[in-house]
A and B are shown apart, each in its own frame.
Chain A
Amino acid sequence: MDPRDGEREVEQWLDAALGQYGRVEPRMGLESRVLANLQSERNRIAPKRRRWWAVGTVAVAAAIVAAVWFGEGSIPRIPPRTVETSTVTHRDNARVSRPPIHPSQVDRRPQEPPPPRLAKRPNHDFAPGKTPKLEQFPSPSPMNEQEKMLARYVQEFPQRAALVARAQTELQKRDEREMAAPWPKNAESTSSDQRE
């Protein structure tokens, strides 16, 4: 037999044997056994995971509540705005001396909260239902002494009273016209000069 043929034969056998070497089949049902094993392992570790999740969730919730609680407590209480006046204060001076701020550096802190509103309570003293509804507004009241004297004068001297009333009306109209006219620029100085 030719040694080359023998070599070729061994080579062929080796190829076939190596092919068979890796072509092994597992026993039936390997997949289901592996899946069952995985499921049992999952069932074993699931309670532990659930416990950790519960602990983690509670911890996160507690942290959020604590952050909100302490966050609210740390907000400084600012006095009401009525304290500020139009006069220049130290704070304003500091603001003036500061260099111009770039738009990106603008303070984006949340604005101070509005002052708490007082709850609206019904004012029972001025409740509309309690006072009687009147025919005339303002409600008529009895005449005082001066009004009575004036009434007597008008009854006794009606013509003279009419003349006086017309004169008073004209005087009042003239005063109104003068007040409505534009005020001169040097009115103050002239008036003071005239006084002098």
Chain B
Amino acid sequence: MTAIATMASEVLALAQAEEDLLEAAVREHSRLVYRIAYSVLRDHADAEDATQETFLRVLRYEKKFARVDNPKAWLARIAWRVAVEWRRQVVRAGTKMEQAGVELPSTGAEVERVLLEQERSALLDRLIAALPEQLRDPLVLSTLEEISPREVAMVLGISEAAVRSRAYRARQILKDKLMEKIGPRK
């Protein structure tokens, strides 16, 4: 019976260690998870829900999480999958993905500039959304400063060179489209 008690105490200690590990991961990587979700969903509420769902999944696979070599890349991959699934559900439900509102300044010149920026940003969002998925995903993830191209490659399951070349091609397409639509700033 002593052996069983020892085993139970060891299991409890292990569970506590896993709990601490997950808490540390939340504190360290929750912003990255949120940004990945937002880059896919382009909505704050959906991004937060996807962040919660990501960590709930990690909780379900807590034991595995304790053994992974690169927790950040592992979390990023889960966040990416959750966000992509969420986006599919949103599209299926026909929910409109809205951009968060921007507060307008009081002066006229400033209002015009902000509106112009907002318009261009919306245009850029539409152009990015219109990109083929193979090019869009590496580009979107490459915009996140927290993860390196190598980690983006791990998230998407492709090589680092493919990430770089696809992001470059996506960027070229965006530049051409922007030149067509708005031309150089006057």
Contact = CB atoms under 8 A, between A and B. Distances in A.
Contacts of B11: 53
B44 interface: yes
B44 A26 contact: yes
Contacts, number: 104
Interface of B: 1, 4, 8, 11, 19, 22-23, 26-27, 30-31, 34-35, 38-39, 44, 47-48, 51-52, 55-56, 59, 120-121, 124, 128, 139-140, 143-145, 171, 174-175, 178-179, 182-186
Chain A contact surface mostly: helix
A21 B39 contact: yes
B178 A14 contact: yes
A14 B174 CA distance: 8
A170 interface: no
Contact of A31 (B26, B139, B184): B26
A30 B145 contact: no
B145 A23 contact: yes
A17 B8 contact: no
B183 A6 contact: yes
A37 B143 contact: no
A38 B59 contact: yes
A41 B8 contact: no
B48 A26 contact: yes
A60 B183 CA distance: 74
16 contacts: A6-B183, A6-B184, A7-B175, A10-B185, A13-B178, A18-B143, A19-B143, A21-B124, A22-B35, A22-B143, A22-B145, A24-B38, A34-B51, A34-B55, A37-B55, A53-B8
